[in-house]
Chains A and B, each alone.
Chain A
C-alpha cells in the first residue's frame, strides 16, 4: 500500500499529510493529528462517539476515509471548544451533570450543536430524535436532553 498526499483544514489550520488510502478519518485525527477528543467506540458507525463536522455537516469519522477529506474543512471537539462556539452548551452540560464517564460527550456535543444550528427551538422529541445516533451508557439521556433544551431556550432568548 502506498501513501497518498492529503491537504485539508482541521479546526482552521492547514494540514498536509501522507496517508494510506484505507485510513479512516477517526484514526487520522487521533493517531496522526493527536486530536484524541474524537473517540472511537464501535468503529462501525453506530455509537456516535466519533462524530465530527466536515464542511459544516456532522459525520461519523469512523465511516469516512481520510483521503475523502481532500480540501475539506474538518472541525472536532477541540476546535469547537477553543473557538467558544459551544461554551454555553458545555456550561449547560456541566450544570445538568449531563455526562458521567464523558466518553460519548464530545460526539454528543457535536450532534447537539448541529441540531441547535438547524432549529432554534427544538422540542424534547426533536432533541431525542437528533441525538438518537449517539449512545450514552451512563446518564440515561434525561440530563443531556435537559441541557440541550435549556441551551436552545437561552439562545432563543438572546435572539441567536
Chain B
C-alpha cells in the first residue's frame, strides 16, 4: 500500500485523494459505448421474439368503418394482425389528466385506435411477424376503410364555436385554461410611461433522439410476469402504468433500461404504441419488439412548443418595469399525453414569464386547445424557451421604447441577489438566485462596452451586428408538487443502496437512470468521495426496477440533486458503519479513524491502519474473530426528496450575437 500520510484536518473534503466531486473525471461507462458493446433496446433479442409494425392513419381525423386483416394474416411469417378492439381485451384506455391542473380534461385514449383516428400517425392495427420486414410486407395488405372527418388544425380557430369539437363528450376543444393575476396590473399599465405589446410565435418541434423509441415486452405466462425492456427516463413510472392498464400488480412488472440512445424528454412519456406492445406480448404470450422508424418518430414522438403568445410590458422612463401581461395559446393534438399531461408546458409558461424581475404586477392567461395533429407534451426545458423568449423580448422592446441600454434595464429590474428567499408574482418560491452576479460576470466576459463600441463603428460601414442578452430562471429537482400532488404515480424521491463487497469494492444501486447525462459517473463520484475509495472501485447499477430502489428516474435536472443526495446520505451511513467495524477490529474509536484511498487510516495523521479489502474479508469470512455483539452492516440504503422548496430554481444569463452586412428587415424579431 502506498498511501501518502496526510493531515486530513488541513485539507478540504473536496481535496482528498478520492475527492471527485467538482472535478472532471472520465465517465465509467464510456468504453462499452465506444467499442460498440452497449446494449440499447434496439439491440435486444429474446428467444421466440416477434416484431410488431403499426399500420398508421394517413388521415388527421377519420372514422374507421372497416378493417380487413385476412389477406395480411396469410402473408409469410405473420403471427397476428390485431386491431384496437381486439387489443382492448387485455389493456384498458387511459385519460391524461392530473387533479392539480384544475379543469384539465381529455378523452379516453386506446393503445390502438378504436372506431376513429385523431391524428395522422395514430396506429390503427398491429402486425406481428417473425421479422420487421415480414410485418411491413403484411401491413401493406391490411385494408382500412376510412370516412374522413373535418380536421381541427389551427389552434387560433380551434376554440371558435364554428369549429368541430374533436371529442363531443368534452363539450369543446379547450383542454385547459389557467388565469393568473398578481398585483394591480391595470393600474400599473396606466401609471407607465410606455406600454409595448408584441406577439411571439413558436413553431412545433421535437427532440429527435438518434435511437428511436424502442420497447421489447416479454410476458412470461408461466411466471405471470411482464418484463419490459424500454429506453425510458422513468422505469418505475413505466412499471406503474403498465401494471395499471394490463390488470397486473406492480410486482408482476419489471422494467429494464440499459443504454438509451438519447432521450431529451422524448422518452419520459409512455406512448400508445408502447402500451400496445406490452399488451401484444400479454395477448400473444411471447416477447414482442417495437422499434420506431424515423418517420414514425417524427409523426408520433411528442412534439413541443407550438405556442402563440401575446405579451405586454409597462415601463417608466427610469427603466422600472411596472407590469407584465401575457396571453398564451397552444395546440396539443387530440389527447392530453399520459401520464404527465399536455398542460404542464403552458402552465410552466404562466409560471415563468417575468420570473427574473422584481415587478409584482402580472396577469396571464394560458389556453390549451385540442387539434387533429400529433400530441404535444413536455420536452427538454419544459416551457422555459417560450417564457424566456417572451419575457426577454418584452424587456428589450421596453428598453428600446425608452431609449435605455438592454443591460441597464435588466440591472434596474432583476431581483437583487440579497433579496432571497422571495417569491415570484406567479407564486414560485426562490431560495437563492444570482441574476446580478451572473449578469456582471457575463458583461465582463464578453467585454460588453467594447462590443457596443465596435458595433457602432461597424454600423457606419453598413455592417449590422446584433447583441442580445437573456436572463432566465430554470425549474429543477421537482418535488411532489410537480406530479405527485396531481395523482400521478411518478416518484419525486429517489433511493440509493450502497454496499462494500468482499474485496473492498463498492456496489451502488440507484433509482436514477442513464441516458448519457453522466448519472453513473456522478453517483460514483459521490460514493467515492464520501467513502474515500477510488472511483474505479465503485460499480453503479441502474435502470432495473427489480434491482434498484424505487425512484423517479432522470429528468428535470433531478439526477444529481435528488439521486445524488440519496447516494451521499447512503454512503455517509455506510462510512459510519465501516468505521464502527474498523474501530472494533483496531480497538480504537470511530472518531479516531478515517477512510482515505481505500484504507482505514488514523484520522489525526493519516497513518494507514487497515485496508478496506482486509476489513471486508474479516466481516464476510471471519466474523467469528469480531468482538461479541458486533454485527457489521456493510450495505446501507437511503432515500431523498426535496421538502423545503418545491423546486430548486437556478438562473443564468446568455448572450446572443449575430452579424449581417445587410440591413435587417426587423430588429425586434
Name the distance in Å between B137's Cβ and chain A's nearest Cβ: 9
Task: Please state if B294 and A43 are interface contacts (CB–CB under 8 Å).
Answer: yes
List the A side residues contacting B131 at CB < 8 Å: 31
Stretch at the interface among A64-72, A98-106, A123-131: A98-106
The reply to whether A99 and B211 form a contact with Cβ atoms under 8 Å apart is no
Q: Establish whether residues A39 and B211, one from each chain, have CB atoms under 8 Å apart when the complex forms.
A: yes
Known A36-B43, A90-B34, A100-B517; contact A137-B264, beta-carbon cutoff 8 A: yes
Q: Is B438 positioned at the interface, with any CB of A under 8 Å from its CB?
A: no
Contact with A along B233-255 (1 / 0, CB 8 A): 00000000000000000000000
Q: Are A41 and B210 in contact (CB under 8 A)?
A: yes
A97 interface residue (CB < 8 Å to B): yes
Which listed residue (B26, B210, B518) contacts A104, Cβ 8 A? B210
Please tell me the number of chain A residues within 8 Å of chain B, measured between CB atoms. Answer: 40
CA gap between A103 and B40 in the complex, in Å: 8
CA distance A22 to B37 in the complex (A): 27
Cα of A106 to Cα of B210 in the assembled complex, Å: 13
Flag if B293 contacts A41 (CB, 8 Å). no
Distance in angstroms between the alpha carbons of A36 and B259 in the assembled complex: 13
CB nearest neighbor in A for B259: A102
Q: A124 vs B230: C-alpha distance in the bound complex, in angstroms?
A: 37
In angstroms, how far is the closest chain B Cβ from the Cβ of A18?
15
Q: Are B294 and A81 in contact (CB under 8 A)?
A: no
Chain B residues with CB under 8 Å of A136's CB are 210
Interface residues of B (CB under 8 A from A): 24, 26-27, 30-40, 42-43, 45, 131, 133, 207-212, 259-264, 293-294, 515-518
B34 touches A138 (CB 8 A): no
CA gap between A95 and B34 in the complex, in Å? 12
Known A37-B35, A94-B31: A101·B261 in contact at CB below 8 Å: yes
Q: How far is the CA of A37 from the CA of B40 in the complex (A)?
A: 10
Q: Distance (Å) between the CB of B45 and the closest chain A CB?
A: 8
- Within the complex, what minimum Cβ distance (angstroms) separates A47 from chain B? 6
In the complex, A44 Cα to B297 Cα: how many Å? 14
Write the nearest CB–CB distance from B564 to chain A, whole angstroms.
18
Q: How far is the CA of A81 from the CA of B35 in the complex (A)?
A: 6
Q: Sorted from nearest, which 4 A-B pairs have the closest CB atoms? A: A37-B36, A102-B33, A100-B516, A103-B261
Is B262 in contact with A101, judged by CB distance below 8 angstroms?
yes
User: Does A81 contact B34, Cβ atoms closer than 8 Å?
Assistant: yes
Q: How far is the CB of A60 from chain B (nearest CB, A)?
A: 14
Question: A127 CA to B75 CA in the complex, in Å?
Answer: 48
CB–CB A76/B36 < 8 A: yes
> A38 to B36, Cβ gap below 8 A?
yes
Can you name 18 extra interface pairs (CB under 8 A) apart from A97-B24, A100-B517? Answer: A20-B133, A34-B45, A36-B36, A37-B38, A39-B40, A41-B212, A76-B36, A90-B35, A93-B30, A94-B34, A99-B30, A101-B211, A102-B33, A102-B38, A105-B34, A106-B36, A109-B34, A137-B264
Question: Do the beta carbons of A105 and B33 come within 8 Å of each other?
Answer: yes
- CB-CB under 8 A from A104, the residues of chain B are 210
CB distance from A1 to the nearest CB of B (A): 9
